[in-house]
Amino acid sequence: MFASKEKVRYAVFGGGQISQQAFMPGIGRTDNSKLAALVTGDPIKAERLAGKYKIKAWSYDQYSELLRSGEIDAVYIATPNALHTDFVTAALEAGIHVLLEKPAAASLADAEKIMALQKRSGAKLMIAYRLHHEPGTVEMVARARRGEFGDLRASQQFSRKTSRKRTHVGTMDIGGGGAGYGNLPAQCGPQLVW
C-alpha cells in the first residue's frame, strides 16, 4: 500500500497553527507515521520548521515535484479552505493519500469534485474530524442511546477568538462559504448524522 514499509511518510501542506501545534509534534509520537516534508509559502517558516524537524521544505511552486519525488506516501493538508481543492486534486491524481483538514473544500461543488476524484484515484482520503471517535464522546453517545439521561435536550456553542489581524477562518475569500460561521458547519454535520 505504501512505498515505505515501516512508516507512512507524510508531507505537511501549510505551516500554520494547527500544523505547528498539533500535527507536526503529534506525528512524532506515533508508531506508524513520520514527518517527511513541509510545503509552505513562507520561507522563514520553511527554514525554521525544516530545521526543527530535520525535514526538507518545499515551496508551493514545488508541490508537483514533491508529489512525483517518491519521498512521501501521504499528505496532511492544512491550508486555507479555498486552497484545499487544488492541492487535494494534485495529490489524488498522483496516487498520494490525503488527510485533509475540515472542511473538505470551500464549496459543495468542490467537495463533490474531491470525492469523485478520490473514488477514481484509489488513493485514500480522510477528513481530519476526530471528535466523534474520542472515547469520552463515544461513551456519552452510547449512554444517551441507552436512555441513561432521560429525555435529552442539547445545546452546543462554539466560539473562536484570535488576536491575529487576519485569519482565514472568518474570511470569505479564502475561507469559503461557511467562513463567517467559523467551525460551526464542521461541528454540526456529524451531529446531524448521529
The CA distance from 51 to 140, in Å, is 42
Query: pLDDT per residue over 125-150, tens digit each?
Result: 999 887 777 888 889 889 988 989 88
Residue-number span of the structural domain to which 141 is assigned: 134-193
Measured CA to CA in angstroms, residue 29 lies from 56, 89, 122, 168 at distances of 20, 29, 28, 29
Q: Is 21 within the bounds of a domain?
A: yes
Residues 120 and 139 grouped into a single domain: no
Q: Is 95 within the bounds of a domain?
A: yes
The CA distance from 18 to 100, in Å, is 12
Question: Smallest Cα–Cα separation from 157: which of 130, 131, 138, 184?
Answer: 184
| C-alpha 50: how far from chain center | 20
Residues 106 and 189 grouped into a single domain: no
Per-residue pLDDT tens, the chain, 194 aa: give them: 555 568 999 999 999 999 999 999 999 899 999 999 999 999 999 999 999 999 999 999 999 999 999 999 999 999 988 889 999 999 999 999 999 998 889 889 999 999 999 999 999 999 988 777 788 888 988 998 898 988 767 666 666 666 656 555 555 555 555 554 455 555 555 554 44
Q: Is 2 within the bounds of a domain?
A: no
Contact 122, 96 (CB under 8 A): no
Residues 75 and 150 grouped into a single domain: no
Q: What is the pTM of this model?
A: 0.73
C-alpha cell at 11: 508531507
Residues 102 and 159 grouped into a single domain: no
What total number of domains does the chain contain? 2
In the block, which residue shows the cell 492541492?
87
Q: Is 170 within the bounds of a domain?
A: yes
CATH of the domain at 122: 3.40.50.720
In the block, which residue shows the cell 476526530?
130
Domain stop point among 86, 111, 127: 127
